[in-house]
Amino acid sequence: MQKLIAANWKMFKTIGEAREMASDLVRRVGEIPADREVLVIPPSTAIFAVAEEFGHAKGFQVGGQNFHPEVEGAFTGEIAPRMLTDLCCTYALAGHSERRHVFGEGDELVGRKVTFGLENGLKMILCVGEKIDERKGGRVEEVLRRQLEVGLAGVSRDIPETDIVVAYEPVWAIGTGEVAGPEEIVHAHAFIRNVLVELFGEKGHSIRIQYGGSVKPKNCADILALDNVDGVLVGGASLQAESFSQIVKA
Ligand SMILES: O=C[C@H](O)COP(=O)(O)O
């Protein structure tokens, strides 16, 4: 299975900055290793510019950070999945911790986004992860199970396993420099794998599980070597071509 190496640029980069980084990234990475898939998720305003810079560079994909689960309509400030596919997006995120905890998105809305995105031509990355008080309170499994069960409730068992990805991002490790330890990652990913098998049967073994939270060039090879880690979702270290290209090739 190909490991999915994804860059989430969050609310960083103008069109000019995004173009510059995208062309630098293509130059630095060169040929993407055969066992890797590379995805850059810019702010919506820069998606098309990045897609243009990627041009015919084989294997570089763009994705969307967010959308509203409707075809179109009076939803000021929102964009629809078909607008993301129109910008060449292949993937979109749902349930990122910043959407959940800064913008108050609940599990049901996240689940609607996952289902709607899949039905409208996007592969979906469902982000899950516990907050620090939930970890300290021994509630990691309860939180992950709820986020997975509700987030994937509308997803058909018949979808191709490559269309859905789960990103485990412990909230306390995001942007803090505090990466989760190997035991914590292995335990959470094994738990997620078991829930995926419960939900999707055999196919659950082939659904990719990414880790996200303070991934850097210096720790990514070790993280990618852990059991059930099928990729990484990178924030801060994905903002420079030098560090993200090292992660892609780690
Ligand atoms: O989507 C990416 C995650 O929020 C991780 O961000 P980070 O690498 O800056 O900790």
CATH number of the domain where residue 101 is located: 3.20.20.70
pLDDT-derived band at 158, boundaries 50, 70, 90:
very high
pLDDT at res. 73: 98
Ligand 1 neighbour 8 (Cβ under 6 A) = yes
Q: Which two tokens stand for residue 171?
A: 């909230």
Mean pLDDT (the chain) is: 97
Judge whether 114 and 153 are in contact, CB under 8 Å: no
Which of 37, 96, 105, 130 is catalytic? The answer is 96
Is 40 a residue whose pLDDT tops 90? Answer: yes
d(CA 241, CA 171): 25
pTM over 0.80: yes
Average pLDDT rounded to a whole number, residues 6-22: 98
pLDDT at res. 231: 98
CA 9, 103, 231, 116 torsion: positive or negative?
A: negative
Full domain range(s) for residue 79: 3-249
Active site residue 169: yes
Phi and psi at residue 225, in whole multiples of 5°? Answer: -85, -10
Looking at this predicted complex, what is its ipTM?
A: 0.98
- Ligand 1 pocket, mutate which of 93, 128, 174 (most atoms under 8 A from CB): 174
Kindly give the interhelix angle for 140-151 and 107-119, rounded to the nearest 10 degrees: 40
Judge whether 5 and 231 are in contact, CB under 8 Å: yes
Is 60 a residue whose pLDDT tops 90? Answer: yes
- Ligand 1 pocket, mutate which of 5, 9, 10 (most atoms under 8 A from CB): 10
Ligand 1 atom 2 nearest Cα: 235
pLDDT in tens, 83-140: 999 999 999 999 999 999 999 999 999 999 999 999 999 999 999 999 999 999 999 9
Which of 105, 130, 169, 189 is catalytic? The answer is 169
The total of structural domains in the chain comes to 1
pLDDT at res. 151: 98
Provide the annotated binding site for substrate: 8-10, 175, 214, 235-236
